[in-house]
Chains A and B, each alone.
Chain A
Amino acid sequence: MFEIKTKTKIAPDIFRFEIYAPLIAKKFQAGQFIVLRPLESSERVPLTIMKANREAGTITLIVKAIGLSTRQLAELKEGDAVADLLGPLGKPSEIGKFGTVVVVGGGVGTAVAFAVAQTLKEAGNRIIIISGARDQSFVILEDDLREISDELIMATDDGSYGVKGFVTELLKDLYRKGEQIDRVIAAGPLPMMKLIADITREHGTPTIVSLNPIMVDGIGMCGGCRALVNGKIVFVCVDGPEFDAHQVDFDSLMRRNNAYRDIEQEKEHACKLDAQIEEMKRA
């Protein structure tokens, strides 16, 4: 079924998967995502499609293992199949000829923004990518990004690789240098996207963010992914995931995304304990 064709570890806890899903590969448009369940017992995990190979029938995903289900995925091997895979979901990105587009990616957000950047490049835009990572070990996708950008700024928080600094500062630098920016696309942690929105608002630059709320079904049924945009409730899975950054209420979304943190941690703790007990029983 949905066989894992290749799996590569590209940074600590970050994996690149190519998964066989021909129908999805055929349909995929930049900005869309899938929902998968690694195992029959897993949660439904939303992940952005980085790219698709129509001939081979595969899609490429970049996954950061942060919790139970993403870790279950990370433990699968080449040749294994994921239990469920559904997509492509969400509205495709708005593609047009805007001029100079700055694409800002933080962490795996870089992978989330990749397809949009690539498609905008193909549509004749000048693409500047700012990709931020904590330190050198977390730098990802540099070759892929170079190929689809006119200018690539690789940055690390501690300066261990590329430019030193946060992506927000580097964006400000571009404005300071007098760069004519016609559009900004941002993907990454919510606090980062919020800061980017604040910066570009000042400059009046149209800005699109790819939101990543907690989802359950991914097809508009649970309302768990809702966000306030322009004061109205939207369902990110069917109305998004991309929205006008200047209209998004980031604060309520950040709270919602943290709402389950304690429960998740307890659960993981319990799972680890269970595993340890099992381990001890076997020994």
Chain B
Amino acid sequence: MPNDLPLKERMQIARHVMPAQDAQVRITNFDEVNLGFTPELAREEAMRCLQCKDAPCSQGCPVHVHIPDFINQIVEGDMLKAADVLLQDNLLPAICGRVCPQEKFCESRCVLGKKGLPVAIGSLERYTADATANQRAARPVGDLPPATGRKVALIGSGPASLACAGDLIRMGHAVTVFEALHAFGGVLVYGIPEFRLPKRIVEYEVNVLRRLGVRFEKNVVIGMTLTLNELMADQGYDAVFIGAGAGLPHFLGVPGEELIGIYSSNELLTRVNLMKAYQSGAVTPIFSYQDKTVAVFGAGNTALDSARTALRLGAKKVHIIYRRSEEEMPARHEEVLHAKEEGVEFTFLAAPLEFIDNGQGWLKGVRLQRMQLGEPDQSGRRSPVPIEGSEFTMELDLAVIAIGNSSNPLLRDTPGLQFTRRGTLEVGENSLQTTKKGVFAGGDIVTGGATVISAMGAGRQAAQEINRYLLELNQPAG
């Protein structure tokens, strides 16, 4: 196809769907579901973009990626340039291309979406990052500005901290990332499964930062191993960024929840992802899913990841049980589609009343109640109202609770930090500074469970603010 294809003809091209593993095959492995665009598909999809001057798509992206520009470079065939356009705004394109809820962000604003289907911006972003990964890794790091002599400590190694680290090191500050777990990446390594986000991609990004000079320290729990005050007073860190995420899983609080066979999505996903239960020979124990009936409570990404993980572990039947309707499901659109293709069954408008004991302390089933949608609640979603007399029972072998997380309590006792009633950290809206001087925060610890790209955006904004703060430290007082 020529580069100068007329508008009309561009609009004739149908949206390309990324090739994927066949549903029946992929539920027998943990390999990535999506196979990625071929160069031909990518270019054809890129040709669909109308290069809108005002780029409404960019407005929909939390970090305002210059979408028409990078897509234009794909059409021109200069992939490295396309990648560089992306990297200006988004430090983790291989990851965001895979996991952003594009239908809510960039693609929701694409003009093509008004009449037909939007440009597959996420898939193109992923393609650009993947196609240039080797070349980018081989490039020299480039000149960093002279060292400022300032040290910044980052708490947690999720996308918020990774993005913050990437910017701070390029500003000439010395950066150390402290992570409590034994692997770096936060939810990207312990939560999101291999079949959606291969761990080698997270490793790649961590290595990029290492090459730039970011130090990574694992096995350090800030608040326990080292306190915030020790970091600043004893270890000489001039500023701190808290990107500790929202990791504490909620439970339903219904009778019978302590039965064996019921656990949190975090436990299932941590055992499978971080502890690598998906590989043969891993030592972490996992309940046998072979031929079992499993219910997952919740309807976000975590719930869908749990359901699809259960299938891959051999479950016979997997139900998603959600108290609202399909429309309110917070999960990424593509995941819902993929889950349906894989045979996950959805029970909407039903809520658990109690779990049933098999007489030996193991789960045997759940009693559910049908719901209907009432008035919109504070979040703007119509809230579920129980229907009297609609109770029914579902036989189950295993249940996974995926109804959200609140922030980890490890830092709550830190003097000087203020938390909201929901347990999230208080920060200045623009400054991202906490109530403690020199301590900034962003990502899920501030917003509650959100998205990778919003955490990354907050990390970058914090880097700007920290830089400003550090420069002000250099000014003589008065």
Instruction: Identify the A interface with B (CB < 8 A).
Output: 23-24, 27, 37, 41-44, 68-69, 83-89, 216-217, 219-224, 226, 228, 233, 235, 238, 249, 251-252, 255-256, 259-260, 263-264, 267
In the bound complex, what is the Cα–Cα distance between A99 and B475 (angstroms)? 57
Neighbouring B residues of A259 by C-beta, 8 Å: 260-261, 287
A-B contact pairs, 30 of them (CB 8 A): A27-B225, A37-B182, A44-B182, A69-B283, A86-B219, A86-B220, A87-B224, A87-B225, A216-B267, A217-B274, A219-B181, A220-B248, A220-B410, A221-B190, A221-B266, A221-B408, A222-B249, A222-B264, A223-B248, A223-B249, A223-B266, A224-B263, A226-B258, A238-B408, A238-B410, A252-B259, A255-B260, A260-B287, A263-B285, A267-B285
Neighbouring A residues of B259 by C-beta, 8 Å: 252
In the bound complex, what is the Cα–Cα distance between A223 and B180 (angstroms)? 16
In the bound complex, what is the Cα–Cα distance between A239 and B248 (angstroms)? 12
Neighbouring A residues of B247 by C-beta, 8 Å: 219-221
Query: Is A42's CB under 8 angstroms from B283's CB?
Result: yes
Q: Is B226 an interface residue (CB 8 A)?
A: yes
Closest to A224 in B: B267
In the bound complex, what is the Cα–Cα distance between A24 and B275 (angstroms)? 24
Q: Is B148 an interface residue (CB 8 A)?
A: no
Query: Is B258's CB under 8 angstroms from A235's CB?
Result: no
In the bound complex, what is the Cα–Cα distance between A223 and B281 (angstroms)? 24
Q: Is B324 an interface residue (CB 8 A)?
A: no
Residues of B contacting A: mostly: loop
Q: Is B361 an interface residue (CB 8 A)?
A: yes
Neighbouring B residues of A43 by C-beta, 8 Å: 275, 283-284
In the bound complex, what is the Cα–Cα distance between A23 and B231 (angstroms)? 12
**What is the distance, in angstroms, from A211's C-beta to the closest C-beta of chain B?**
14
Neighbouring B residues of A256 by C-beta, 8 Å: 258, 260
Q: Of B253, B257, B361, B401, which is in contact with the most chain A CB atoms at under 10 Å from its CB?
A: B361
Q: From residue 220 to 251 of chain B, which have CB atoms closer than 8 A to chain A?
A: 220-221, 224-226, 247-249, 251
In the bound complex, what is the Cα–Cα distance between A222 and B401 (angstroms)? 11
Neighbouring A residues of B263 by C-beta, 8 Å: 223-224
In the bound complex, what is the Cα–Cα distance between A43 and B271 (angstroms)? 10
**With A37-B182, A217-B181, A255-B361: A223-B410 Cβ-Cβ less than 8 Å:** no
Neighbouring A residues of B401 by C-beta, 8 Å: 223
**What is the distance, in angstroms, from B404's C-beta to the closest C-beta of chain A?**
12
**With A216-B270, A220-B409: A264-B251 Cβ-Cβ less than 8 Å:** no
**What is the distance, in angstroms, from A210's C-beta to the closest C-beta of chain B?**
18
Q: Mark B320-363, 1 if CB is under 8 A from A, else 0.
A: 00000000000000000000000000000000000000000100
Query: Is A219's CB under 8 angstroms from B221's CB?
Result: yes
Closest to B264 in A: A223
Closest to A251 in B: B361
Q: From the candidates A37, A88, A251, name the one contacting B225 in the complex (CB within 8 A).
A: A88
Q: Is B387 an interface residue (CB 8 A)?
A: no
In the bound complex, what is the Cα–Cα distance between A87 and B226 (angstroms)? 10
**With A85-B219, A86-B219: A23-B225 Cβ-Cβ less than 8 Å:** yes
Closest to B250 in A: A223
Q: Is B288 an interface residue (CB 8 A)?
A: yes
Q: Of A41, A69, A83, which is in contact with the most chain B CB atoms at under 10 Å from its CB?
A: A41
Q: Is B117 an interface residue (CB 8 A)?
A: no
Neighbouring A residues of B253 by C-beta, 8 Å: 233
In the bound complex, what is the Cα–Cα distance between A68 and B281 (angstroms)? 12
**With A220-B247, A256-B260: A41-B224 Cβ-Cβ less than 8 Å:** no
Neighbouring B residues of A249 by C-beta, 8 Å: 258
10 smallest CB-CB distances across A and B, nearest first, come from: A223-B264, A222-B267, A255-B361, A221-B247, A252-B258, A260-B285, A263-B285, A223-B249, A86-B219, A84-B182
In the bound complex, what is the Cα–Cα distance between A226 and B262 (angstroms)? 11
**With A220-B248, A221-B266: A84-B218 Cβ-Cβ less than 8 Å:** yes
**What is the distance, in angstroms, from A62's C-beta to the closest C-beta of chain B?**
21
Q: Is B137 an interface residue (CB 8 A)?
A: no
Neighbouring B residues of A23 by C-beta, 8 Å: 220, 225-226
Query: Is B224's CB under 8 angstroms from A68's CB?
Result: no
In the bound complex, what is the Cα–Cα distance between A224 and B287 (angstroms)? 13
In the bound complex, what is the Cα–Cα distance between A255 and B358 (angstroms)? 13
Q: Is B20 an interface residue (CB 8 A)?
A: no
Given A219-B180, A223-B248, 15 more pairs with CB closer than 8 A: A23-B220, A43-B284, A83-B182, A84-B218, A86-B220, A88-B225, A216-B270, A220-B410, A221-B247, A221-B249, A221-B270, A238-B410, A255-B260, A263-B287, A267-B285
Closest to B245 in A: A221
Q: From the candidates A27, A223, A263, name the one contacting B224 in the complex (CB within 8 A).
A: A27
Query: Is B266's CB under 8 angstroms from A264's CB?
Result: no
**What is the distance, in angstroms, from B427's C-beta to the closest C-beta of chain A?**
21
In the bound complex, what is the Cα–Cα distance between A275 and B253 (angstroms)? 44
Q: From residue 90 to 143 of chain B, which have CB atoms closer than 8 A to chain A?
A: none
Q: Is B286 an interface residue (CB 8 A)?
A: yes
Query: Is A89's CB under 8 angstroms from B221's CB?
Result: yes
**With A69-B283, A233-B251, A263-B286: A228-B258 Cβ-Cβ less than 8 Å:** yes
Q: From the candidates A68, A222, A267, name the one contacting B266 in the complex (CB within 8 A).
A: A222
Query: Is B409's CB under 8 angstroms from A238's CB?
Result: yes
In the bound complex, what is the Cα–Cα distance between A27 and B226 (angstroms)? 8
Query: Is A86's CB under 8 angstroms from B267's CB?
Result: no
**What is the distance, in angstroms, from A124's C-beta to the closest C-beta of chain B?**
27
Closest to A2 in B: B219
In the bound complex, what is the Cα–Cα distance between A27 and B288 (angstroms)? 40
Query: Is B271's CB under 8 angstroms from A216's CB?
Result: yes
Closest to A35 in B: B219
In the bound complex, what is the Cα–Cα distance between A86 and B222 (angstroms)? 11
Neighbouring A residues of B181 by C-beta, 8 Å: 217, 219
Neighbouring A residues of B281 by C-beta, 8 Å: 41
Neighbouring B residues of A86 by C-beta, 8 Å: 180, 182, 219-221, 225
Query: Is B361's CB under 8 angstroms from A252's CB?
Result: yes
Q: From residue 295 to 316 of chain B, which have CB atoms closer than 8 A to chain A?
A: none
Neighbouring A residues of B218 by C-beta, 8 Å: 84
**What is the distance, in angstroms, from A20's C-beta to the closest C-beta of chain B?**
13
**What is the distance, in angstroms, from A96's C-beta to the closest C-beta of chain B?**
19
